[in-house]
Structure 1
């Protein structure tokens, strides 16, 4: 007498009755879709990821370099994957930061509509963006350096719906102007008409995650240059993913503090010092070099990234936001 078989509803392969799960794909046999099953699967899958996240959280925060070392050693199921860790924490950070950025966008729009100058004292990145708006005057609109025009004349042309080309001429744009310079005039006029600097600021903030997508591999490449004879690039990338996950976690906590009460400047300095010390210890533990070698290469990596790569990225993000908004 032969054994009875049943067919898996997921992979449609047959197997002997008596199995609780399909031996081919792992789906539960005779799994009837009910509301309880639906929510149980959703919650169990969610918390299975969370369980690994919380198991990884303590080493990430308090054992620099530990997760990266374990991952490259082959222990890749005990802790959250570096890419998952980075993506999860970065999403949390940008979600929390959206509350601050929304407030800043509204503040910029309100300030521009009242012809006042915004004052931001606790965030250097925001200050760099807002500084570009500080040369707006009530009687005459002036963009320092190469661009200046009479506000009343331009307002009169806008009021009569004059063609943009005529307004550009009133702004001082020459007939044989190049493409890039003309694009600047186009964006300046667009900005002037709308008085909506918040959109520019919002576009800048929106470009940060995209910039980080390119900055992280660049950081890993800097480490590769410093340890070019030692390990493959993928190892540096794993290290970088965990390190930036830590950085975003610290920034998330800082944003939470900022949402509750405005922190003093010494907290920002403390955070910078904390990240620097963490990075040095992580390099020391992951790359297994002596303390002096690790200190020197940590300094070179951070110096190259913070003082060379990040400023260029900010400029490109600002230009992208300016031309795309």
Structure 2
């Protein structure tokens, strides 16, 4: 009697038909995809205690440098892949962070609009002194050929109440003049010139000034902030390999660049896990500022210990190199990345 074989749908290996599970990969022979099975597989892959995530989570938080050493040493199936662990934890972090950022966006926008409304109220309640009135008249007359405003229209605008000069919101141009041109329904080209655009602007100015005008009209500082937060994962994907490059420069003989990249994935995963826990805690209680400072210090201590264990170097060298790497990364690279991120977010919000 000939033996019958089945082919595994997962690994496509042949096995005897009497088996309920594939002996090669463990896939069940006959299993219909139901909602319950889909939910169970999700839990089993990420949330159950016997999953690779929890097998990786505990040593990640309690044994600095252990996971990258295990991965480099060849133990790559017992724990979650470093890139996969990093992506999963950052997803959780930004999911939690989004709840707080929604409130921040609302508070910023409301505060900015309140200040703007306060300025508009000043327009209606405060008389324009002769100097301010003359400045506005000069600005409108200067753009008279573009706005096609009559002298009567200019006199009507100038005779209105003006904005006080102590407006704390600075755009790098005369906001009073722009508000006057907007009130006069001036064209965008006219307003751009009043903002400082050159007669023959380049492609960058053509991108910048419309955004400046848009921001001036919308008064949504919170929207730019949220755009920055949404773009942060992209910045991190750039900063993480740069961080690994720094490790490579300081530990040139300690392995290939990929080794340092593995260490960076696990270390950044630890950082985001710590702050994810902190976000969850903040939802329950108000965490004092000294606790946040202590946590920041603990991250640096974790980094020093991880470097010591991973690169197998003396403590004094580990502390010195960790301090230099942290300082250069936090004091130079991160601020530069933040400025670039803010500018890009402003251009595309």
Structure 2 length normalisation: TM-score?
0.78
From 296, 300, 306, give the equivalent of 1:272: 296
Deviation at 1:8, TM superposition (A): 5.2
Deviation at 1:250, TM superposition (A): 1.3
Aligned to 1:69: 69
* Partners of 1:149 and 1:172 within 8 A in 2: no
Q: Within the alignment, does 1:229 sit opposite 2:253 as a pair?
A: yes
Deviation at 1:60, TM superposition (A): 1.1
* Partners of 1:204 and 1:318 within 8 A in 2: yes
Q: Within the alignment, does 1:97 sit opposite 2:97 as a pair?
A: yes
- Supply the distance in 2 between the matched residues of 1:235 and 1:255 (Cα, whole angstroms): 31
Q: Secondary structure of the equivalent of 1:212?
A: helix
Q: 5+ residue gaps in structure 1?
A: 118-136
* Partners of 1:68 and 1:238 within 8 A in 2: yes
* Partners of 2:15 and 2:22 within 8 A in 1: yes
Aligned to 2:19: 19
Shift of the 66–173 alpha-carbon distance from structure 1 to 2, 3 Å rule, reads: same
Deviation at 1:9, TM superposition (A): 5.6
Q: Secondary structure of the equivalent of 2:18?
A: coil
Which structure: larger Rg?
Answer: 2
Deviation at 1:224, TM superposition (A): 0.1
Shift of the 293–187 alpha-carbon distance from structure 1 to 2, 3 Å rule, reads: same
Q: 5+ residue gaps in structure 2?
A: 118-161
Deviation at 1:155, TM superposition (A): 2.8
* Partners of 1:86 and 1:241 within 8 A in 2: yes
Root mean square deviation, CA, Å: 2.8
Structure 1 length normalisation: TM-score?
0.83
* Partners of 2:47 and 2:54 within 8 A in 1: no
Q: Secondary structure of the equivalent of 1:242?
A: helix
Deviation at 1:291, TM superposition (A): 1.2
Deviation at 1:225, TM superposition (A): 0.3
Aligned to 1:306: 330
Shift of the 304–195 alpha-carbon distance from structure 1 to 2, 3 Å rule, reads: same
1:147-167 deviation digits (Å, cap 9, x = unpaired): 22142x423432454320011
The worse-fitting range, judged by mean Cα deviation, of 24-33 and 289-298 is 24-33
From 292, 302, 305, give the equivalent of 2:316: 292
Shift of the 34–86 alpha-carbon distance from structure 1 to 2, 3 Å rule, reads: closer
1:195-228 deviation digits (Å, cap 9, x = unpaired): 1222111111111111000100000000000111
Aligned ranges for residues 235-250 of structure 1 at < 5 Å?
A: 235-250=259-274
Total equivalences in the alignment: 304
Q: Within the alignment, does 1:189 sit opposite 2:213 as a pair?
A: yes
- Supply the distance in 2 between the matched residues of 1:49 and 1:209 (Cα, whole angstroms): 28
- Supply the distance in 1 between the matched residues of 2:265 and 2:9 (Cα, whole angstroms): 38
- Supply the distance in 2 between the matched residues of 1:254 and 1:41 (Cα, whole angstroms): 28
Shift of the 138–99 alpha-carbon distance from structure 1 to 2, 3 Å rule, reads: farther
* Partners of 1:148 and 1:171 within 8 A in 2: yes
